[in-house]
Amino acid sequence: MPELPEVETVRRGLLPVMEGQVIQSADVRRPDLRWPLPPQMAARLTGQRVTALRRRSKYILADLSSGETLIIHLGMSGRVLISGQMQGQFHHSHPAPQKHDHVVLDMENGARITYNDARRFGAMDLAATEQVEAHKMLAGLGPEPLGNAFNETYLTDRLAGRMTPIKSALLDQRVVAGLGNIYVCEVLHRAKISPRRKAGRLSAQRAAALVPLVRDVLNEAIAAGGSSLRDYRQADGELGYFQHTFRVYDREGTACSTPDCTGTIVRIIQSGRSSFYCPQCQR
C-alpha cells in the first residue's frame, strides 16, 4: 500500500494541474471502489474549482469551491495519472480508456486526471471541508510526522508504558499518521532498535532519537519519488526510486549495511506483516 512518501509525491505531481483549476467535467464510471462512492459524485465535482490540494496521512484532500472536500485514498493498487499537460520534460497525450479507469476528471486547463485501480481497494468520498477532519477515514489520526506536533516530547510520552512492540507502536496511526511498514523498518534499522523491542522499554533518549530519523527517512523517500513496489507510479507515470536505497526492507539474507556490522538481514512476521531487521546491530 502506498505510504506517506508515495501519497505526497502524487500530491506534488497533481499540484500544478489541479490546484486553482476548475473541474470541467467528471466521469464516474462505477458506483463503488472499496466502499460506495458518494451520491451524485460527478455532478458535485463538475464545475468546481480546486482551491487547495492537501495531504493528511495517506489521503489526498482536494478542497473545492463548493465547500466540500474530495478525499482520495489509493488503497493497494490505486494510481492517479495525468495526461494532456506537460509533466517536467514530457507531454502525455490522453491515453485510450483502460478497463480499470474508474474516475476521470477533465480540467479546464486541458489536463486529465485518471484514477485507475485494478483491485478497487482504494476509496473516495466527499465531505464538508469544515468538518473533514471528523470524517471516519481521518478522525483519530495522530500528528503528521513532518509537522511540529510530532516532536521528541510527544513521542516519548506516547511510547511510555506501552508493552506493544515498537514496530507496532509506530504503525499505529493514532500515534503518528502516515507511517507504514516499509519506512518503519528503515527507521528502526537506522536507530539500531529491534522491531521486537517493547515500546515502553525504550529509554527516553532512544525514543526521542526516533523523531529526526523518521523525518530523514520520509524526506529522503519523497525526494526519490517514493518506493515503487508492484503497482505504485508517480502522477506522471514514472517509477519512484527509494527502493534502491533500502537498508533492510525486502533484503532478507543480505549483509547488513551498518558500518562494522557483520550481521545478516532477517525477516520475521509481526501481526501478519513482514519485518526486516539485523539481529546483530538492532537491539
- Could you read off the pLDDT of 254-276 as tens digits, one per residue? 999 999 999 999 999 998 999 99
The whole-number pLDDT of residue 239 equals: 46
The model's pLDDT over 197-234, given as tens digits with 9 standing for 90+, comes to: 999 999 999 999 999 999 999 999 998 877 644 544 44
On the question of pLDDT at 85 being above 90, the answer is no
Asked if the structure places residue 139 within a domain, the reply is no
The whole-number pLDDT of residue 226 equals: 73
The whole-number pLDDT of residue 242 equals: 56
> Which residues, 6 or more positions from 264, have their beta carbon under 8 angstroms from its beta carbon?
253, 254, 255, 256, 278, 280
The pTM for the full model equals: 0.90
Within 115-223, residue ranges assigned H as helices are 152-159, 166-171, 181-191, 204-223
Select from 3, 5, 8, 13 the least CA-distant residue to 237: 13
Residue recorded with cell 556490522: 261
On the question of pLDDT at 3 being above 70, the answer is yes
> Which residues, 6 or more positions from 27, have their beta carbon under 8 angstroms from its beta carbon?
42, 103, 104, 105, 106
**In a shared domain, residues 130 and 156:** no
Among the candidates 71, 103, 134, a domain finishes at 134
Give the catalytic positions in this structure. 2-3, 58, 273
> Which residues, 6 or more positions from 166, have their beta carbon under 8 angstroms from its beta carbon?
159, 188, 193, 194, 195, 197, 198, 199, 202
Mean pLDDT highest for which of 3-7, 52-56, 226-230? 52-56
**In a shared domain, residues 166 and 100:** no
The whole-number pLDDT of residue 117 equals: 94
The whole-number pLDDT of residue 100 equals: 93
Asked whether 187 and 217 are in contact (CB, 8 A), the reply is yes
**In a shared domain, residues 20 and 75:** yes
Structural domain harbouring 219:
152-277
Asked if the structure places residue 123 within a domain, the reply is yes
pLDDT over 70 for what percent of the chain? Answer: 90
The model's pLDDT over 88-133, given as tens digits with 9 standing for 90+, comes to: 444 556 777 788 999 999 999 999 999 999 999 999 999 999 999 9
> What are 189's three cell numbers?
534499522
| CATH code of the domain containing 178 | 1.10.8.50
pLDDT over 90 for what percent of the chain? Answer: 79
On the question of pLDDT at 86 being above 70, the answer is no
The whole-number pLDDT of residue 89 equals: 47
**In a shared domain, residues 43 and 159:** no
Sheet containing strand 50-56, edge to edge, reads 50-56, 59-64, 68-73, 123-128
Q: What is the rounded CA–CA span in Å between residue 70 and residue 64?
A: 7
User: Exposed, middle or buried by CB within 10 Å (0-12, 13-18, 19+), for 89?
Assistant: exposed
When pLDDT is averaged across residues 11-27 and rounded to a whole number, the result is 95
DSSP output for 208-258:
HHHHHHHHHHHHHHHHTT----TT---TTSPPP-GGGG-SSTT-TTSBP-S
**In a shared domain, residues 160 and 271:** yes
Least reliable range by pLDDT among 6-10, 78-82, 173-177, 237-241: 237-241
Average pLDDT, the chain: 91
On the question of pLDDT at 52 being above 90, the answer is yes
The whole-number pLDDT of residue 238 equals: 55
Query: Cα-Cα-Cα-Cα dihedral of 32, 34, 36, 41, to 10°?
Result: -60
Asked if the structure places residue 141 within a domain, the reply is no
**In a shared domain, residues 124 and 175:** no
Residues found in the chain: 283
On the question of pLDDT at 282 being above 80, the answer is yes
The whole-number pLDDT of residue 94 equals: 76
User: Exposed, middle or buried by CB within 10 Å (0-12, 13-18, 19+), for 261?
Assistant: middle
The whole-number pLDDT of residue 232 equals: 44
How many domains in the chain? 2
Among the candidates 134, 164, 188, a domain finishes at 134
| CATH code of the domain containing 120 | 3.20.190.10
Asked if the structure places residue 146 within a domain, the reply is no
Higher per-residue confidence, 170 vs 233? 170
**In a shared domain, residues 171 and 270:** yes
Higher per-residue confidence, 268 vs 82? 268
Q: Which region holds residue 272: left if phi is over 0, alpha if psi is between -120 and 50, else beta?
A: left
